[in-house]
Every structure is written in C-alpha cells, then in structure tokens.
Structure 1
Amino acid sequence: MLNAALRASTSPSWSDRANAGRQLAAHADVPEVAAVLRRLLQDGHDTAVTQRTAEALLRRRDLLGLRLVLAAFAGADVDTTDHLGDAILNVCLRSDEDQEYFEGLVTELASDAEPDEAARTEAGLLLQDWNPRLA
C-alpha cells in the first residue's frame, strides 16, 4: 500500500495525488514519505491536493503533522497558503476543545528544538493570531 501511494503521489490526476497525501500522512515519520508530503503540501497543479494532504496531517494530532503543515507556509503562494489555512480551520478550530488541543501543540512547536525554523516561525504567528496579547 505504501509503494502504491508513493506512485500515486506523482499521478497527473489531482484526486490520485490527494488520496496519496491522505494515505501517506499516516507514515509521515518515514523520511522518504515526509519528503513526498512536503511536495504534496505545495502541489503546483491543484490546491485540493494541498488542502486534503494538510487536513490528513493535522488529523494525526501530533507535532510531526503540524510541523509539516506549518513549514509548508514558507515560500508558498497566496492560493496555497489560503488552502493550508482552510485545513487548519477545518481540523484544528472545529470546537473549543480542538482549538485548545492544537494551541498546546502550536505552543510546543513555537519553542521546539527541531531545526525547522519555518515551522517554528509560523507557529509563533499562529499563536499571535489566537492570542493577540502575545504580539
């Protein structure tokens, strides 16, 4: 299944790439898969691929998925950032409980020791959006 999803990630069909992103999100801890997910998060052909991949990563409810999504904001065009933002709204902000949980992850990521400066910066910006007193 993993190999099939990796192959589908390069399909000319947006729906195949989006399905691959959803399937691969469960294996984001595999370096080869993480690289493919990064590419799908900034899919240059269809933002549905971006949004569905981001939503699947955020549904993991862990630092790795969140880190990949937030890092994708760096260097992304306006349309892509809109869809990444929509994914955050759809998954992380559906309820007060969801927001509280993800705010905890974002707070942790904002001071994370991982060498991903882009994700750390985006986490800080997201915290400022959620809590303007931090600005």
Structure 2
Amino acid sequence: MPRQPTATQAHLNNISKCVAITANTFNVLVDILKISGLEGISNTIQSLLKLIQTIKQDKNECAELMGQTHQLLNAIITMYIKCETGAELPPSTLNQIVTFTETLCKIHTFVEAQQSGSKAKKLFRHGELAAL
C-alpha cells in the first residue's frame, strides 16, 4: 500500500501543479510573442518542475520558493498581457525580469541540492538560501 503524502509533500505537489499550469501559459506567451529572453525562464521552470518531484529534504523551503516563483510568473504574464506596446517593456521592467531569471537559477541550484542527503552540500546551500 503506498504511503500517504505528508502535509508538506501534498502542499509541494499542489504548488508544483499550479506552477506547471502557469508555466504552460508562459510557454504559449513566449511562443506567440517570440521573446527569446524569456526562453531561459521557461527552460529553468521546466527543469525545476522535474527536480521538485524527487527532493528529499527542505521541502518546506522548496514549496515556499516554488510558491513565490508561481506568483512572479503570473506577474510577468500579466505584464505582457496588459502591455500596450506588444512585447516591448520599459528597460527598468526588463532589468527586473533579468534579476528574476538570475534568482530562478539560484533556486534551481538550491532545489537540485535537495536531491541528496549530503550534509556538506546542505551546509553549503544554506548560505545560498539565505542570499535569496
């Protein structure tokens, strides 16, 4: 008989499903608007969704980071939908998207580190999580 997921695992699964749906919408937006700069976000999100299925530790932190990622993806989608100039956003907004992309890569690294139970990796990654 399969084990029942813990509350944390269930929460992480629910957030992952929400991120997956939002990521699909994001991918459609990227394809329609032909915005090459957003492909990196799309690829990283897809990779994160695969990684999140097999994490072994720090599930609460991963769930929180995925929840924040979900909110930011929704915000980017909304910006492009409301943008009256097509795919052109102001430079300040584009800079924020670049910052999000960099942070997303750090989140990916953190989640990737949660795949194993290595204490040394956990200690090293704890500093990275604090930097996020």
TM-score norm. by structure 2 comes to: 0.24
Tell me the TM-score normalised to structure 1 length.
0.24
More relative contact order, 1 or 2 (CA 8 Å, 6+ apart): 2
